[in-house]
Structure 1
Amino acid sequence: MNTQSLESDVIKNAVRGSWLSVLDSLAPELERAILKPGRHIGCPVHGGKDGFKLFRDADISGGGICNTCGAKPDGFSLLMWLRGWRFPDALMAVANVLGLSTDEHHQSPVVAQRPVFTKPKFTADDDRIKEILRTVWQESKSVHHPDAEPVRLYLQSRGLDNMIPNWPSIRFHPRMQYRDEDGKLIGKYPAILALVERDSEAITIHRTFLTPDGCKAAVDSPKKMMPTPSNKIVMGSAIRLGAPGRVLCVTEGFETALAVIEATGMVTWPLISSTLMSGFIIPSGVEKLIIWSDLDLSFAGSFAAAKLTEHANAQGVEAVTCEPKGPIPANAKSIDWLDVLNQYGPNAFSVIRSCS
């Protein structure tokens, strides 16, 4: 097959679910990150000890994040960043690894073929992960429980209403274990638990680690997802805050979703990250999707909103994107709608009328 005749969508669809193998061939310097997506390693561009990681769903998205350069939402942008390639170069290189191209005359990066990396799956590990997830959820309490004061203090410190609805997807854990990237137990902290679901199926749990007085815990990653069993797919999932109707709002972060809910009263689901936003599965019955995207220096939020809009339109769903107005402050990397709520109040969300 001639790559010149290949539609890019064919290659994109073919690589989905095989990105770890492809990155293992094209970017061997990512070997440690490939062995454990989500674990920090030294940045392949800037060096150091922990400046880069692949996303936990990297086999599907191919994406990762550099602490200096920001998020690379998919494998193509990651390879372009690492290799200085143009998009057609990255596309050709991926096609070569997948065996989709036999065009010897097309000028493309030289690809050294290496054994295909296969992500191991251990049933025993899956059983252990599922048991841990069940136990953590069973140990949790309502956010309205008297013991959940750290949650209320935290929300209040963020400028939010501290008495949020008692959604079944949001819980409080009084002593959640925090382990570092090597699995070492660092301590036990109060935590907000959020159930991550895909098509109404529980996938994993997102945690926000706190202190007893309602601050973010002083750990490397105060917001962190628990492991996901190998037979579960994170891409397409969401934290479901309420039942969707004809109109559904989505955001990246949990607290941003709370800001939208507080200002508009509309059902709003946080999608956790820009990578997961780009692959969100829109529930049946939704006719209009309002995307309250972040404005950030890396443009990851804008990119994700654009990708989600494409998916929505392909399904016949109207999509509207509302993005905060800049400029981004000099000491910040982004602006989200919680920032807008705190600075300008609920009236600033009347932008939805112009977005609509």
Structure 2
Amino acid sequence: MSTKPIESNVVRNAARGVWLSVLDSLAPELEKAISKPGRHVGCPVHGGKDGFKLFRNADIYGGGICNTCGPYADGFSLLMWLRSWSFPEALSAVADVLGLSCDSYQKPILDRQPAMIAPSRSASDDEKIKRSLRTLWRESKSLHHPDAEPVRLYLESRGLDGWLSDWPTLRFHPRLQYRDEDNRIIGYFPAMLALVEKGDQAITIHRTFLTRDGRKAPVDSPKKMMSIPSDRSIMGAAVRLGRPGRVLNVTEGIETALAVIEATGMVTWPLISSTFMQGFEIPAGVEKLIIWADLDQPNKKTGLRPGSEAASKLAERANAQGVEPVIREPKGPLPVDAKSIDWLDIYNQDGPNAFAFRSVI
């Protein structure tokens, strides 16, 4: 690996659009995933048949998701997971593959081109994605609409109040198309929609596919994110449930955020996953950030608990910005047969009193 220092944004910009080739050079075990981004293959760490996939926009960002360990937003985090590298080690490796040094840029040096690499997304593709996002949101309805009963039943089945506040970022769609990994239409289902935002921009829409009686739809992935235009990034984004004042609460999942809101009455934003949590952009004016972490089983390779690690990294980020962080994590032990427990589980087990603690405000 190169020992010369190099700016991370230089490497990141150079890798944009050629991440599949970079990953093919540094992680040949991803060959099958590289040949079909967006489709599940065996996990390079855990094995099996369908435990991993690269995101459809992996050539742009390099990200993927492991069903056991969770999502990795970009190629750096993916390589850090696969190789147990630090960020500087991953940065240096990618820079070497691209032929970069601290003061020069040469044509990317790639040992070989992987088969069937998908072309980078075009401007017309981006416009199609944005049009789909706008259309879907226009077709949606308030969660208080009479037709939104499937969402209310779903929330009640999770131990939550079905008649929650009518936030403009949570909506209902009566008949949403579901496609499988081969882009085949499997069916049409009611769905809960959540708008993912960052700054003054809508980034994408998170979808929870349901049945009419409020259960998760009988599909491979009942919770799915829509595609993200290439000129937007989900890292740092959130589903904004209310306007924060001096204090803001954050969680990973949407249902967990709703549990925190019911138990505490405080503004709480879900950040979708542990990967996105650690890069959350704390809004101006927030002086205290309360992080309601998930308690996960340790990663078999690294020994780290993803939820705890993400909460710690976000706390470090908060400290660096002069924001006081408070981490709340469910008390163990974690059941052997459970991948994780979150604060929705605690809410259902112990009620709102379990959320009380001193010096929140």
Structure 1 partner of 2:122: 122
**1:26 and 2:26 correspond:** yes
**In structure 2, C-alpha distance between the alignment counterparts of 1:271 and 1:57, rounded to whole Å:** 20
1:1-150 alignment to 2 at 5 Å? Answer: 3=3, 6=5, 12-16=8-12, 18=15, 20=19, 22-31=22-31, 33-34=33-34, 38-54=38-54, 63-68=63-68, 75=75, 78-79=78-79, 82-83=82-83, 90=90, 92-99=92-99, 113-114=111-112, 120-150=120-150
Q: CA deviation at 1:28?
A: 3.4
Decide whether the 8 Å contact of 1:129 with 1:227 is kept in 2. Answer: yes
**In structure 1, C-alpha distance between the alignment counterparts of 2:153 and 2:354, rounded to whole Å:** 25
Q: CA deviation at 1:279?
A: 1.1
Aligned residue for 1:238, secondary structure, equals coil
Residues 1:294 and 1:11: Cα distance change in structure 2 (over 3 Å)? farther
- Long gaps (5+) in structure 2: 103-108, 300-304
Aligned residue for 2:356, secondary structure, equals helix
Decide whether the 8 Å contact of 1:295 with 1:334 is kept in 2. Answer: yes
**In structure 2, C-alpha distance between the alignment counterparts of 1:204 and 1:163, rounded to whole Å:** 25
Decide whether the 8 Å contact of 2:129 with 2:227 is kept in 1. Answer: yes
Q: Name the TM-score, length of structure 2 as normaliser.
A: 0.84
**In structure 1, C-alpha distance between the alignment counterparts of 2:35 and 2:193, rounded to whole Å:** 27
**1:226 and 2:232 correspond:** no
Structure 2 partner of 1:336: 342
Q: CA deviation at 1:30?
A: 2.3
Query: Once the two structures are superposed, what CA deviation does each residue of 1:316-353 show, in whole Å capped at 9, x if it has no partner?
Result: 211111111111112210010000100011000013x2
The correspondence for 1:309, drawn from 299, 307, 315, is: 315
Q: CA deviation at 1:231?
A: 1.5
Aligned residue for 1:143, secondary structure, equals coil
Q: CA deviation at 1:305?
A: 1.2
Decide whether the 8 Å contact of 1:16 with 1:60 is kept in 2. Answer: no
**In structure 2, C-alpha distance between the alignment counterparts of 1:122 and 1:74, rounded to whole Å:** 19
Q: Name the TM-score, length of structure 1 as normaliser.
A: 0.85
Q: CA deviation at 1:354?
A: 6.5
**In structure 1, C-alpha distance between the alignment counterparts of 2:124 and 2:85, rounded to whole Å:** 41
Structure 1 partner of 2:245: 245
Q: Report the RMSD for the aligned CA atoms in angstroms.
A: 3.0
**In structure 2, C-alpha distance between the alignment counterparts of 1:309 and 1:302, rounded to whole Å:** 10
Structure 2 partner of 1:263: 263
Residues 1:14 and 1:325: Cα distance change in structure 2 (over 3 Å)? farther
Q: Which amino acid aligns with 1:253?
A: G
Residues 1:81 and 1:313: Cα distance change in structure 2 (over 3 Å)? closer
**In structure 2, C-alpha distance between the alignment counterparts of 1:34 and 1:118, rounded to whole Å:** 9
**In structure 1, C-alpha distance between the alignment counterparts of 2:348 and 2:235, rounded to whole Å:** 31
Decide whether the 8 Å contact of 1:203 with 1:234 is kept in 2. Answer: yes
Q: Which amino acid aligns with 1:94?
A: V
Identity %: 70
**In structure 2, C-alpha distance between the alignment counterparts of 1:134 and 1:72, rounded to whole Å:** 26
**In structure 2, C-alpha distance between the alignment counterparts of 1:236 and 1:192, rounded to whole Å:** 22
Q: Which amino acid aligns with 1:222?
A: P
**In structure 1, C-alpha distance between the alignment counterparts of 2:40 and 2:118, rounded to whole Å:** 20
Residues 1:67 and 1:113: Cα distance change in structure 2 (over 3 Å)? same
Residues 1:200 and 1:112: Cα distance change in structure 2 (over 3 Å)? closer
**1:327 and 2:333 correspond:** yes
Worse overlay, 120-129 or 39-48: 39-48
Decide whether the 8 Å contact of 1:324 with 1:336 is kept in 2. Answer: yes
**In structure 1, C-alpha distance between the alignment counterparts of 2:350 and 2:90, rounded to whole Å:** 43
Q: CA deviation at 1:67?
A: 3.2
Q: CA deviation at 1:82?
A: 3.7
Aligned residue for 2:168, secondary structure, equals coil
Worse overlay, 115-124 or 129-138: 115-124
The number of residue pairs the alignment matches comes to 343
**In structure 1, C-alpha distance between the alignment counterparts of 2:213 and 2:158, rounded to whole Å:** 13
